[in-house]
Amino acid sequence: MIRIGMGYDVHKLTAERPLMLGGIRIAHTHGLLGHSDADVLIHAICDALLGAANMRDIGYHFPDTSSETLNMDSKIILRKTIELIAREGYRVGNIDATICAERPKINPHIPVMQQCLADVIGCSVNDISIKATTSERMGFVGREEGISAYAVCLIEK
């Protein structure tokens, strides 16, 4: 049995935090504001995985009202999400994700992100596609107010 899931996340940029994307720290003037480390890529991937398994969403399992998730490394959230879907008999087939940001340039960091995510998930780097785009200076991403990410995944039982 195969199932498909889709995820989306967005966080506001702030000068108060480091930028975490795809499980790695990227040098930039601003990071993302959120309850955990606000890694929009990992959060979108987790929502895609949970959705594919019909297990609700990241906020249900890792609420932003919990002291346990405050400032949590999103790699932990991803690892626990993999454990949750595994309990239902699922494993990751593949992930395809897109990060939308004006700055910093994401493409140079993609191979390291892929390796980091593959290590956490326990899959091949070839099973994780990450792309980057801008919003052509339109909207909140274009005004550099935030960063968004989209992800789709295939899981197999």
Nearest Cα to Cα of residue 9 among 27, 37, 29: 37
Query: Residues at the annotated binding site for a divalent metal cation?
Result: 9, 11, 43
Q: Please enumerate, by residue number, every residue annotated as part of a binding site.
A: 9-11, 35-36, 43, 57-59, 133-136, 140, 143
Mean pLDDT of the chain, nearest integer: 97
| Predicted local confidence at residue 50, as pLDDT | 98
For 40, the 3-state DSSP assignment is helix
Give residue-wise pLDDT tens across range 43-76: 999 999 999 999 999 999 999 999 999 999 999 9
The model's pLDDT over 10-42, given as tens digits with 9 standing for 90+, comes to 999 999 999 999 999 999 999 999 999 999 999
In this prediction, residues 105-131 reach a mean pLDDT of 98
Q: What is this structure's pTM? A: 0.97
Integer Cα distance of 148 and 39 in angstroms: 10
Instruction: Note the pLDDT of residue 123.
Output: 98
**For position 8, what pLDDT does the model report?**
98
**Predicted confidence band of residue 97 (pLDDT cuts 50, 70, 90):** very high
Ordered by where they begin, the domains of the chain are 2-156 (3.30.1330.50)
DSSP type of residue 1: -
Is 22 in contact with 109 (CB distance < 8 Å)? yes
H-assigned helices in the chain:
40-52, 58-61, 74-87, 110-121, 139-142
- Mean pLDDT of the 126-136 span: 97
CB-facing half-sphere around the CA of 157: CA atoms within 13 A = 11
Report DSSP state, residue 123.
S
Specify whether the CB–CB gap between 130 and 113 falls below 8 A.
yes
Q: What is the pLDDT of residue 109?
A: 98
Q: Give tens-digit pLDDT for 79-96.
A: 999 999 999 999 999 999
